[in-house]
Each structure stands twice: as structure tokens, then as C-alpha cells.
């Protein structure tokens, strides 16, 4: 009986590992947008934490105020990465049934 329970637990663990791997792969494909300055700066980030695209409205580029543009890019990037991380976390929670698995 104990051996059957152990086998069942191992099967469940393998299945969960497969689901976690799949969720990680899906999360990497997710994209999230962050904006700043009312949308004049847009950043697209993926669920694996990579910035994929940065878009800047040419009308916001002021050579005399580069610092403002830098701040807008930073704010949009942080927003996109935070949103992408939240989406990835939701995928992981769905795959693990809400269990907290360290390292995933």
C-alpha cells in the first residue's frame, strides 16, 4: 500500500514538473506593455523578463531635456516588466495549483 502511494506521489510530481515546464515556456512567450507620459513612451516586455521593444513618440524628444525622456523610458520599462512578471506568476500558480515551489 505504501509503495502504491509513493508511486502515485511520484507520478503526480512528474506531472506537476511537466506542467511547470510548460507554464515557464508559455510565460516566456507572454508580452506585456508598459507606458509612461500618457503613452508617448511604450515598452513591451516578455514573461521571461526581457525587454522586446521600446517605442518613443518623436514629438516627446527634446534635446534640451533628455533626462525627462530617460525617466519616461525607465518608468515604462519597469511597468512592462512588473506586468510581465505578474502574468508569468499567474501561469505558474495555475500550473502548480497555487503551491509555492522555490526556484520556479
Tens place of pLDDT per residue across the chain (104 aa):
678 888 888 888 788 888 888 887 887 888 899 999 999 999 999 888 889 999 999 998 999 999 999 999 999 999 999 998 888 888 878 877 766 655 55
The CATH number of the domain covering residues in 2-96: 3.30.1310.10
CA distance 102 to 104: 6
CA 69, 71, 75, 78 torsion-angle sign = positive
Please give the helix or strand (H or E) that residue 31 lies within, else none.
strand 31-36
Residue 14 is predicted with a pLDDT of 86
Alpha carbon 56 to its chain's center: 22
Give the pLDDT of residue 99. 64
Contact 62, 69 (CB under 8 A): yes
* pLDDT recorded at residue 37: 93
Q: How many helices (H) and strands (E) does the chain have?
A: 2, 3
pLDDT of res. 103: 56
Please give the pLDDT value at position 33. 94
> Among 10, 51, 7, which Cα is nearest to 31's?
51
Amino acid at each position: 500500500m505504501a509503495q502504491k502511494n509513493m508511486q502515485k506521489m511520484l507520478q503526480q510530481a512528474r506531472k506537476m514538473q511537466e506542467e511547470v515546464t510548460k507554464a515557464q515556456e508559455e510565460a516566456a512567450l507572454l508580452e506585456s506593455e508598459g507606458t509612461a507620459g500618457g503613452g508617448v513612451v511604450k515598452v513591451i516586455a516578455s514573461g521571461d523578463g526581457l525587454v522586446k521593444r521600446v517605442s518613443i513618440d518623436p514629438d516627446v524628444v527634446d534635446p534640451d531635456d533628455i533626462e525627462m525622456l530617460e525617466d519616461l523610458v525607465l518608468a515604462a520599462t519597469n511597468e512592462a516588466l512588473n506586468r510581465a512578471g505578474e502574468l508569468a506568476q499567474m501561469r505558474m500558480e495555475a500550473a502548480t495549483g497555487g503551491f509555492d515551489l522555490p526556484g520556479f
